[in-house]
């Protein structure tokens, strides 16, 4: 590794002394930590532009003083215990500006102020997490994925490793995604309408940035997907909660807001989060008619559409009428694995350039390697059998969790939501307030997902508490155990 030292060739202080001081101060000051390997004297001399003998002499003096040690055959290292560290403390250069940790005077932007909040501490790993939206990554065909990658890495490196000009995503991947969506979701689109993003998160983020100013409103399901709400409100926009019942968002309630500039309406029509219901066809038509009339855009987050266990999937809103005012969002994070960071938007043709521009400015492009492997995975037909297999796994996990809860809670638990997806909503008839129930579950070792966003008083009934259960990433054994723990926490 190179070592940068601040040498001044016209200083009255000899280069030897400057190098010696730089190394010693770096060791005493903690820049070069105990055990750090220093460069070979020849390499350091070359990179500093001095003779090798100068460096060798510095090293020898530092060795004799107990700062450095040589290990036979492996090089020169910073000693693990330093000689009388205190003695040298005063030789550390004094700060020009000595006040410690002076707060930065720099003002954040309006956006910076809106998002500046302490980051939640990590959740300890020993908890059984029923609040994690991850899929079952243990079942993911890692060997196959790795094989596809190894094969591609043996080819001409430029298409995989060099800058591309395909900022909205690889053409091959956009063709494969368009085909998949046309077939399985009745989405009507040309590959040019597809923008590949780093997960559906980034798709939501771009939609918010491109359409929302602080004077605008966003309508969204209540209860709904909290994180989408945070993205919209970080733009300064106002959230309008629209109630949800067993047919999905109550679209008729949108008309109450005709006095406001509703720019976007966010829906999860395939499997509403958190209620787990599908948006009915008549409401889809109403929503389209309302959007056409008011000039709003529908943000269709086609969350969980692939997993329905005993009903047929409804086709997308996007494909129901020509030129639908819809931004359609999907992701491979839940279908394959979350750290893949590949999702997509299908946008009306008028918005292709502005979304491509947003991607280009934000992070240039998504990984070409990941896009290539995903394309191979799709076009070689690996997705369908994998989803079929996982549909059975998830159906079984859902059944095990529902049965376990019913065994312990009997009529005191009600499960809401379709036989679908990777979560359901459960209502417990217990004499606990929601925060207390949550804390008790936590103390028992189970972390639940709360339904507290946005205002959702209509789901609160005295003597009832509700939580979302996400089960896809948990084994059947863990799910049985979680239900037991919850029974002890809520009923004792």
Nearer to its own copies, 315 or 445 (CB): 315
CB proximity list for 98: less than 8 A, separation 6 or greater: none
Cα(132)–Cα(469) distance, rounded to whole angstroms?
A: 9
CB of 492 to its own copies, least distance (A): 31
Least distance (Å) from its own copies to the CB of residue 165? 4
Nearest distance from C-beta of residue 455 to its own copies, angstroms: 22
Cite the beta strand spans of 97-207 per DSSP E.
128-129, 194-197
Q: How far is the CB of 201 from its own copies (least distance, A)?
A: 5
Alpha carbon 198 to chain centroid distance? 9
CA dihedral 256, 258, 263, 264 (to 10 degrees): 30
Q: Cα 73 to chain center, whole Å?
A: 45
Closest CA to 466 of 492, 443, 438, 440: 438
For its own copies, give the closer residue by CB, 106 or 411.
106
1 vs 462 by CB, closer to its own copies: 1
CB of 208 to its own copies, least distance (A): 8
- Residue 333 beta carbon to its own copies: minimum distance, rounded to whole angstroms: 8
Which of 90, 116 has the CB closer to its own copies? 116
Instruction: Find out whether 481 and 165 touch, Cβ atoms under 8 Å.
Output: no
Pick from 292, 415, 257, 273: which is nearest to 334 by CA?
A: 273
Cβ closest to its own copies, residue 90 vs residue 138: 138
Cα dihedral 269, 273, 278, 283, rounded to 10, equals: -50
Q: Is 73 helix (H, G, I), strand (E, B) or coil?
A: coil
Question: CA-CA distance, 329 to 199, in Å (whole number)?
Answer: 9
Task: Give the span between the Cα atoms of 282 and 285, in whole angstroms.
Answer: 5
Pick 44 or 401: Cβ nearer its own copies: 44
Is the backbone peptide bond immediately before 82 cis, with ω within 30 degrees of 0?
Answer: no
Distance of closest approach, residue 188 Cβ to its own copies, in angstroms: 7
Which is closer to its own copies, CB of 76 or CB of 202? 202
Instruction: Indicate the residue among 133 and 440 with the shorter CB distance to its own copies.
Output: 133
Which lies closer to its own copies via its Cβ, residue 160 or residue 251?
A: 160
* 3-state secondary structure (DSSP) of residue 120: coil
Nearest C-alpha neighbor of 270 from the set 228, 221, 212, 213: 221
Shortest distance, CB of residue 357 to its own copies, whole angstroms? Answer: 4
Residue 469: enclosing H or E segment and its boundaries?
strand 464-470
Q: How many CB atoms lie within 10 A of CB 295?
A: 10
Q: C-beta of 27: minimal distance to its own copies in Å?
A: 12
Q: Which is nearer to its own copies, 103 or 477 (CB)?
A: 103
Cross-strand bridge partners of residue 218: 239, 264
d(CA 377, CA 383): 7
- Least Cβ distance, residue 356 to its own copies (angstroms): 5
């Amino acid at each position: 590794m190179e070592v940068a030292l601040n040498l001044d060739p016209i200083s009255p202080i000899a280069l030897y002394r400057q190098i010696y001081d730089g190394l010693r101060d770096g060791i005493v000051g903690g820049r070069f930590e105990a055990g750090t390997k220093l460069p070979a004297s020849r390499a350091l001399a070359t990179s500093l532009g001095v003779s090798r003998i100068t460096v060798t002499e510095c090293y020898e003096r530092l060795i004799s003083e107990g700062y450095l040690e040589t290990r036979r055959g492996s090089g020169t290292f910073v000693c693990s215990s330093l000689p009388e560290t205190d003695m040298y403390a005063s030789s550390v250069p004094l700060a020009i500006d000595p006040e410690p940790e002076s707060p930065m005077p720099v003002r954040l932007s309006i956006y910076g102020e809106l998002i500046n909040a302490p980051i939640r501490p990590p959740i300890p790993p020993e908890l059984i997490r029923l609040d994690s939206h991850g899929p079952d990554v243990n079942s993911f065909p890692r060997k196959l994925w790795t094989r596809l990658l190894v094969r591609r890495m043996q080819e001409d490196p430029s298409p995989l490793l060099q800058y591309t000009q395909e900022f909205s995503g690889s053409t091959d991947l956009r063709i494969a995604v368009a085909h998949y969506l046309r077939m399985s979701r009745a989405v009507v689109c040309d590959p040019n309408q597809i923008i590949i993003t780093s997960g559906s998160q980034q798709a939501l983020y771009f939609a918010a940035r491109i359409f929302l100013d602080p004077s605008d409103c966003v309508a969204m399901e209540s209860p709904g997907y909290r994180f989408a709400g945070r993205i919209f409100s970080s733009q300064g926009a106002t959230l309008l909660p629209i109630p949800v019942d067993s047919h999905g968002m109550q679209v008729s309630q949108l008309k109450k807001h005709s006095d406001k500039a509703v720019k976007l309406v966010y829906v999860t029509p395939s499997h509403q989060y958190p209620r787990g219901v599908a948006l009915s066809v008549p409401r889809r038509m109403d929503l389209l008619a309302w959007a056409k009339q008011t000039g709003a855009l529908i943000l269709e987050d086609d969350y969980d559409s692939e997993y329905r266990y005993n009903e047929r999937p409804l086709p997308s809103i996007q494909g129901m009428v020509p030129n639908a005012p819809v931004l359609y969002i999907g992701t491979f994070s839940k279908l394959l694995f979350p750290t893949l960071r590949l999702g997509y938007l299908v946008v009306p043709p008028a918005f292709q350039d502005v979304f491509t521009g947003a991607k280009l400015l934000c992070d240039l492009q998504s990984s070409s390697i990941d896009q290539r492997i995903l394309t191979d995975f799709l076009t070689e037909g690996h997705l369908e059998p994998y989803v079929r297999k996982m549909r059975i796994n998830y159906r079984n996990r859902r059944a095990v969790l529902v049965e376990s809860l019913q065994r312990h809670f009997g009529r005191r638990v009600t499960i809401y939501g379709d036989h679908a997806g990777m979560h359901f909503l459960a209502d417990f008839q217990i004499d606990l307030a929601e925060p207390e129930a949550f804390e008790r579950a936590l103390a028992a070792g189970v972390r639940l997902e709360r339904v507290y966003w946005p205002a959702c008083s209509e789901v609160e009934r005295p003597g009832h508490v509700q939580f979302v259960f996400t089960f896809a990433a948990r084994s059947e054994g863990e799910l049985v155990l979680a239900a037991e723990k919850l029974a002890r926490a809520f009923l004792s």
